[in-house]
Amino acid sequence: MNTNGLSVLRRSFAATTGLQLRYLKQPPGPNFEDLQNYPNFDPERQHLLWEDISKKYGPVFQVKNNADSSMYFLSDASDIQKMFNITAKNPIRPFFDSFKLVREINESKFFDEEKLGILCQHGDEWWRVRSKVQVHTNKLQTIATYLPKMDDIAKDFVKRIDTLRNAENEMPENFMKELYKWALENVGLLSFNKRIGGFEGSEDSKHITEAADMIMKSIHECEMGGDKSWMYAPNAPFRALSENHDYLLRYIESEVSTCYEKLKNCNNVNMKSLNIIESLLLTPELTRKDVIITMLDFIFAAIDTTALTMAFTLYCLSNNPKYQMKLQQELDNVVGDSEQNLTPSHIRNLSITKAIVKESLRLYPIAYVQVRQTLEDSEIGGFIIPKGAQVMLRQQPMAKEETNFSRAEEFIPERWIRGNPMTKDWNHNMFAYFPFGFGTRSCVARRISEQEIYSLIARLFHKYNFEWKQKSLNPKSHLQLYPDLPLKFTVKERFP
Ligand code: HEM
């Protein structure tokens, strides 16, 4: 019997007999030291290694380190559903220890004990802040206050296309950097309450980009590199992480203070047009520090995720001219000649656009593994996973399984359009798709990031056609999934 057959049997046996946990075994899997012997071992493409191991051991496996730090992996939708459900009341997402430590030992003592922000905190302290922040990040009226400026950023990006193109209409090798600039400019609206001038290369934007870049690189070195001495005394990557983190903290602190002073001196606050910083500053249960830390967390969570989602969406569209045309027809019908600003009503009616982004995220989920920590010994897939274990939920392979999605390998956005006759009877397993996470711990800014992405797609494809003439991407995976080749799209005017 193959591993899949065995795993189905084991799962139903555990379910029907209600076996007590103590009779169950831990999932099988290799030792950490053996990983290098796998044929697909490539530190740059961890998702392929997990796939290899899963072929050998089945959809539930562990990578054994020692009893306390083994990692557990799931890639069966029903197991993942169970894992999300049993952790739903107190969802703990282990976060990078190096990042947490930077805050815990912050020299200026900015971080009060336990108040480390929604990205790395959990339990009551996490919920104290998260429950207040999401009121505003989910509120359509508040999100709409950013739309005109996000639209301006999208229009500025479109203007840049002309200056970036070479004689063959190709984007430059570093086009990904341009997408990072776009993402930073957008999150700057939230966190700094202003445009930072990234496209023009303002001094502020250069420093902020450099700091954000260094932070991501240093986290990667601290967490994935071999040298863990930073746990005991700061080493070079940890110092870089700490210095750049503190630079951004001070920058945001000053912007939030400016915002606070303005609010304090304003006699007549228009509650309907408050942005997120203002709304949070006026939330009695939050301190000014809470607001600053949240805005800092936004910077870390927003740039790569949004820029990479945009990159893969452009790639999918470039390879699917049929859907590019459908998208452009929709844009012509809904947005028209592009002279006027985008409005919430335009965004509401962009159904093909939305389906395209969803489908790109299915095939290229930026957060290719997501993590939860077990709260107690738990039965998953007929195995026991011990209390306190880190469980990696592998969404990427599930998207490619026919049992979860019909014609799984193909880019077919219609599968996301409700009532579409073509896809009505297709397999569509919602627990095999969670690009923004799950439940109360899911992405707090999902709607905001979607608005950014729809705005840029609307502006880009109204004017241009995109083509991909390079070889196919074979994405890499570190902290996130990202393209392995320079994004040299060929971009031509739609109406030359
Ligand atoms: C397409 C873009 C984005 C994707 C795919 C994405 C994805 C995710 C995922 C997978 C999580 C973890 C969810 C979980 O553990 O269940 C997350 C959390 C988070 N995201 Fe996003 N994100 C995006 C954009 C953004 C943006 C633009 C911001 C800020 C402006 C942001 C802020 C956050 C924060 C603060 C958290 C932590 C939430 C918590 O732990 O309560 N994200 N995001």
The rounded Å distance from CA 446 to ligand 1 centre is 7
Residues forming beta bridges with residue 384, ordered by sequence position: 379
Longest dimension (CA), the chain: 74
Domain hosting residue 61, numbered range: 3-493
Q: Specify the residue with its C-alpha closest to ligand 1, atom 18.
A: 443
353 Cα distance to chain centroid: 19
Binding residues for heme: 443
- CA-CA distances (angstroms) from residue 476 to 47, 306, 358? 8, 17, 20
**Across-strand partners of 177?**
none
Ligand 1 atom at minimal distance to the Cα of residue 367 = 10
Q: How far is CA 160 from CA 98, 175, 496, in A?
A: 37, 11, 17
Residue 7 pLDDT:
65
Can you give the CATH number for the domain in which 17 is found? Answer: 1.10.630.10
Tell me, in angstroms, the distance from the centre of ligand 1 to residue 306's CA: 9
Index of the ligand 1 atom closest to the CA of residue 361: 5
How many CB atoms within 10 Å of residue 116? 23
What pairs with residue 378 in β-bridges? 385
Q: What tokens were used for 240?
A: 């870089």
Q: Which of 436, 447, 455 best tests ligand 1's pocket when mutated (most atoms within 8 Å of CB)?
A: 436
Q: At what angle do helices 203-224 and 236-264 cross, to 10 degrees?
A: 140
Ligand 1, atom 9, lies closest to the CA of 436
* Total domains present in the chain: 1
Burial of 255-274, coded b for 16+ CB within 10 Å and e otherwise, reads bbeebbeeeeeeeeeeeeeb
Q: Side chain identity at 320, as an amino acid letter? A: N
Q: How far is the CA of 235 from the centre of ligand 1 (A)?
A: 29
CA of 130 to the centre of ligand 1 (A): 12
Atom of ligand 1 nearest to the CA of 186: 27
Pocket probe mutation, ligand 1, options 136, 297, 372, 443, max atoms within 8 Å of Cβ:
443
Residue pair 444/130 in contact (Cβ under 8 Å)? The answer is: yes
Q: What is the CA radius of gyration of the chain?
A: 23
Q: Report the length, in residues, of the chain.
A: 496
pLDDT of residue 108: 78
Phi/psi at 249 (nearest 5 deg)?
-60, -45
pLDDT of residue 67: 60
297 Cα–ligand 1 center, Å: 10
User: What's the gap in Å between 458 CA and the centre of ligand 1?
Assistant: 23
Instruction: State the helix-helix crossing angle for 140-164 and 123-137, rounded to 10 degrees.
Output: 80
| Residue 33: per-residue pLDDT | 87
Could you identify the atom of ligand 1 that is nearest to the CA of residue 137?
A: 30
Instruction: Yes or no: say if 219 and 98 are a contact pair by the CB < 8 Å rule.
Output: yes
In this predicted structure, what is the pLDDT of residue 10?
A: 65
pLDDT tens for the chain, 496 residues long, are 555 666 666 666 666 555 567 778 899 999 988 988 888 788 889 999 999 999 999 999 999 987 667 899 999 999 999 999 999 999 999 888 899 999 998 877 899 878 999 999 999 999 999 999 999 999 999 999 999 999 999 999 999 999 999 999 999 999 999 999 999 999 999 999 899 999 999 999 999 999 998 998 999 899 877 788 999 999 999 999 999 999 999 999 999 999 999 998 888 878 888 999 999 999 999 999 999 999 999 999 999 999 999 999 999 999 999 999 999 999 999 998 767 899 999 999 999 999 999 999 999 999 999 999 999 999 999 999 999 999 999 999 999 999 999 999 999 999 999 999 999 999 999 999 999 999 999 999 999 999 999 999 999 999 999 999 999 999 999 889 999 999 999 999 998 8
- Ligand 1, atom 20, lies closest to the CA of 443
Residue 169: its H or E element: none
How far is ligand 1, taken at its centre, from the CA of residue 416, in Å?
21
φ and ψ at residue 394, rounded to 5 degrees: -90, 95
Under a CB-based contact definition with an 8 Å cutoff, are residues 59 and 393 in contact?
no
Q: Using CA positions, which residue lies closest to atom 28 of ligand 1?
A: 302
Ligand 1 atom nearest residue 371's Cα: 15
Distance from the alpha carbon of residue 441 to the mean position of ligand 1, in angstroms: 9
Instruction: Specify the residue with its C-alpha closest to ligand 1, atom 30.
Output: 298
Q: Which atom of ligand 1 is nearest to the CA of 449?
A: 27
Which two three-digit tokens encode residue 438? 């799950």
Nearest CA residue ID for atom 11, ligand 1: 443
Q: State the pTM of this model.
A: 0.94
66: left (phi over 0), alpha (psi -120 to 50) or beta: beta
The pLDDT of residue 271 is 81
Q: Which of 369, 372, 348, 483 is nearest to 435 (CA)?
A: 369
386: left (phi over 0), alpha (psi -120 to 50) or beta: beta
Give me the pLDDT at residue 223, please: 87
How far does the centroid of ligand 1 lie from the alpha carbon of residue 129, in Å?
Answer: 15
Nearest CA to ligand 1 atom 24: 302
Residue at 194: amino acid letter: K
Of 158, 70, 76, 139, give the one whose Cα is nearest residue 373. Answer: 70
pLDDT of amino acid 36: 87
Are the beta carbons of 248 and 205 closer than 8 angstroms?
A: no
**Annotation: binding site:** 443
Q: Which residues line ligand 1 (CB under 6 A)?
A: 93, 118-119, 130, 187, 190, 297-298, 301-302, 305-306, 309, 366-367, 370, 435-438, 441-445, 448-449
